[in-house]
């Protein structure tokens, strides 16, 4: 018997959720045949078989969370697996961990009378979530009824899965690691030609600002205390989808033409919405753009995802009364937000970046 475990999927990811199995127990598979699809880091990834053989056992079901290094498949026969793609292997005498989410149970369980337990089943109430108010920690009928009423009013709790779960983990890490500060301004874009591509103008202006102030196009390793300034601008573009936020990476934006940028952006957005974007297209961003104004809002305190040092936000374009050439005028204004990691970026660097960004946007073409 040989076991194939969940391989390292990159980006320091420690787990993945099983989306679907493409094989069943007893099937004979060949090398590189898809075994299952898992969701991680906002993408669905197919995991191929490392070798040929007959499948003896599958570990985990749809929806289970599997840790990197935990077993996925046990083969009954065939050549040894390609250890270059496998993170680890459990010995024959070891007990494999469960593929699902483990939940710790409290040691002291409250007392529940049979009639109350039957009521809980009838009302579909999980007794482990009920606060016991009876003598000696006993769960009463009133406790169960109160829990049922609360559930009906607030809705049932649902576990965070897939993209939502990945977002929660990344935002928690960002909150723990980043020291954010935000500066804002507005760009007067009233002189733009009719039909100007707003997103591409933002992309090009970010490339200009990164050249003027390279400190914001950087990665920071808080463990080693090392900053890396990056010459090439690989821009993360936040894409809002039905399942959550996906941030594919538009590569080398400073060196690409407008048609090339637009074509690349369209392809990334289509792949993100279809959930077919390759994992490598989600990695390696050096700075991020959130064009949230396409939906609504003017300014925002945005979230930086480590190891990046900055994220730019563009709010909703709207006509505003401003001073123009010494006279009051109604002009189309584009709100700008720049959130930066104040551990490695100074306020002066951020302000100069924003000035360069705004200045490029205010050019007529």
Interstrand relation of 180-188 and 327-341 (parallel, antiparallel or unpaired): antiparallel
DSSP state of 86: -
Task: Using the structure block, give the residue that is written with the tokens 């990665």.
Answer: 219
Tell me what the mean pLDDT of segment 311-321 comes to.
Answer: 97
Instruction: Work out the percent of the chain whose per-residue pLDDT is above 70.
Output: 88
pLDDT per residue as tens digits for the range 47-63: 889 889 999 999 999 88
Distance CA 2, CA 92 (A): 9
* pLDDT-derived band at 31, boundaries 50, 70, 90: confident
| Nearby residues of 143 by Cβ (< 8 Å), 6 or more positions away | 116, 130, 131, 132, 133, 134
pLDDT at 137 over 50: yes
CA distance 107 to 290: 46
CA-based max dimension of the chain: 83
pLDDT of residue 167: 82
Higher pLDDT, 99 or 204: 204
CA dihedral 341, 346, 350, 352 (to 10 degrees): -160
Long-range Cβ contact pairs of 105-108 (< 8 A, separation 24 or more): 108/137
- At 350, list the tokens: 């951020």
Residue 343 pLDDT exceeds 90: yes
Residue 156's pLDDT is what?
A: 64
pLDDT digits (tens, 9 = 90+) for 248-284: 999 999 999 999 999 999 999 999 888 888 888 999 9
């Amino acid at each position: 018997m040989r076991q194939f475990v969940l391989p390292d999927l990159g980006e320091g990811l420690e787990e993945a959720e099983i989306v679907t199995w493409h094989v069943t127990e007893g099937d004979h598979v060949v090398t590189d045949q898809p075994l299952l699809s898992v969701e991680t880091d906002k993408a669905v990834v197919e995991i191929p078989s490392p070798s040929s053989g007959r499948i003896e056992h599958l570990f985990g079901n749809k929806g289970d969370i599997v840790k990197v290094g935990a077993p996925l498949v046990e083969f009954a026969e065939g050549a040894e697996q390609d250890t270059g793609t496998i993170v680890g292997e459990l010995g024959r005498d070891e007990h494999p961990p469960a593929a699902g989410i483990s939940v710790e149970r409290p040691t002291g369980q409250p007392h529940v009378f049979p009639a109350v337990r039957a009521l809980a089943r009838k009302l579909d109430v999980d007794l482990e979530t009920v606060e016991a108010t009876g003598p000696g920690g006993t769960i009463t009928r009133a406790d169960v009824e109160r829990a049922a009423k609360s559930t009906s009013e607030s809705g049932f709790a649902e576990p965070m899965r897939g993209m939502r779960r990945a977002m929660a983990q990344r935002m928690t890490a960002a909150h723990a690691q980043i020291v954010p500060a935000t500066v804002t301004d507005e760009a007067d874009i009233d002189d733009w030609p009719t039909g100007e591509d707003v997103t591409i103008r933002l992309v090009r202006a970010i490339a200009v600002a990164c050249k003027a102030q390279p400190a914001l196009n950087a990665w920071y390793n808080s463990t080693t205390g090392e900053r890396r300034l990056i010459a090439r601008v690989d821009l993360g573009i936040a894409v809002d989808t039905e399942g959550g936020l996906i941030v594919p990476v538009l590569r080398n934006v400073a060196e690409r033409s407008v048609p090339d940028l637009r074509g690349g952006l369209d392809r990334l957005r289509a792949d993100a919405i279809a959930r077919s974007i390759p994992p490598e297209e989600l990695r390696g961003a050096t700075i991020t753009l959130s064009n949230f104004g396409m939906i609504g809002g003017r300014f925002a305190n945005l979230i930086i995802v480590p190891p990046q040092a900055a994220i730019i936000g563009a709010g909703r374009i709207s006509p505003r009364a401003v001073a123009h050439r010494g006279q009051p005028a109604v002009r189309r204004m584009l709100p700008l937000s720049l959130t930066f990691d104040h551990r490695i970026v100074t306020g002066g660097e951020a302000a100069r970046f924003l000035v360069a960004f705004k200045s490029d946007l205010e050019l007529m073409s």
